[in-house]
Amino acid sequence: MWVHVYVNSSRDLPSIKAAVEDHGCQVRELEPALYEVRVHDPNGDAEDEVTEYLNDAGIEAEVSYENPQTEGKPKAYDLLISGNLLSVVVNGKGGTIEQGLPRETCPSCDQANCCNQCDGSRGADDNKESEDDAIDRTRYNAVLDAVESIILAHACAGIKVDDPKYIEGIETSLEAAANALSYLDAEGAAPAPDIDAEIAKAEKGDTKALAFLYDHYSKTSHGPNCSYRCKGECDCEKADIAQVLEANGRDVP
């Protein structure tokens, strides 16, 4: 993730560039003694990194995420996400969503947060959705709520949320969320896990599969004809899980 920090220094542009560009940063002069430094910042410590680069070069400077030119002034972002407008306004460390992404609404009352709770003011008999459709709709709307909150938080932290690559990432996330929700069954549960496949992976030492089976063991029951929990004395899923857990040194509850 690329972020911007701002450097106040009496040194000239070539000096600032020489101090930070060897570390992969990009610099541009905004006005005399004020520079914008673009930093690849996966760890969230860009201020400290740039300060260290400058100090190592013998340059004293004030480094901040806040641009002195816009400090105290609201900044608006109009983001086109999957063809829909999201308007975000940042003011200092806070901000608001001025226009959110469109939500899916109840066909009976046209409200996004309704889940079969309305009086059918738009014609419940003709438009009433099923319980499953209402759950799917409110789930997807909740995803949009979360994504908007993340974008707002990033904007307030100084991340360039209007960067095309950032917007592309948001669109990919929304598409993935929609695909994931489509796999949920009518009761809202994820598809049943393939226990045989997890056992096969665990037998090969897959630690994730072992952890899954250990957690799943307590949620399963022995078959009606089982006489013992494992060691081949009964033939059911729970016994198979117990056997592979014990073979890998796990204590079976």
Q: Which region holds residue 82: left if phi is over 0, alpha if psi is between -120 and 50, else beta?
A: left
Residue 118, both tokens: 């309305």
pLDDT at 186: 42
Contact 145, 132 (CB under 8 A): no
pLDDT at 185: 44
Q: Using alpha carbons, select from 45, 1, 38 the residue that is nearest to residue 16.
A: 38
Can you give the pTM of this predicted structure? Answer: 0.47
pLDDT at 149: 93
Contact 34, 27 (CB under 8 A): no
Q: Which residues of 88-113 are buried (b: 16+ CB within 10 A; e: fewer)?
A: bbbeeeebeeeebbeebebbbbeebe
Residue 102, both tokens: 């469109």
- Domains delineated in the chain: 2-64 (3.30.70.100), 75-182 (no CATH), 195-247 (no CATH)
Instruction: For residues 29 and 80, give the distance between their C-alpha atoms in angstroms, rounded to a whole number.
Output: 29
pLDDT at 202: 82
Instruction: For residues 170 and 199, give the distance between their C-alpha atoms in angstroms, rounded to a whole number.
Output: 36
Q: Using alpha carbons, select from 2, 6, 16, 19 the residue that is nearest to residue 47.
A: 6
Instruction: For residues 248 and 253, give the distance between their C-alpha atoms in angstroms, rounded to a whole number.
Output: 14
Q: Which region holds residue 230: left if phi is over 0, alpha if psi is between -120 and 50, else beta?
A: beta
All residues at 6 or more sequence positions from 206 whose CB lies less than 8 Å from its CB, including other chains: none
Instruction: For residues 5 and 38, give the distance between their C-alpha atoms in angstroms, rounded to a whole number.
Output: 7
Q: Using alpha carbons, select from 89, 68, 23 the residue that is nearest to residue 50.
A: 23
pLDDT in tens, the chain (253 residues): 566 777 888 888 888 889 888 888 888 888 888 888 888 765 668 888 888 899 898 998 888 877 666 666 688 889 998 888 999 998 877 889 999 988 888 887 778 777 767 765 555 555 677 777 788 888 888 889 999 999 999 988 888 898 889 999 998 888 888 777 765 544 455 555 678 888 888 888 777 777 778 777 776 766 655 554 444 456 677 778 888 888 877 777 6
What is the three-class DSSP state of 80? strand
Contact 104, 181 (CB under 8 A): no
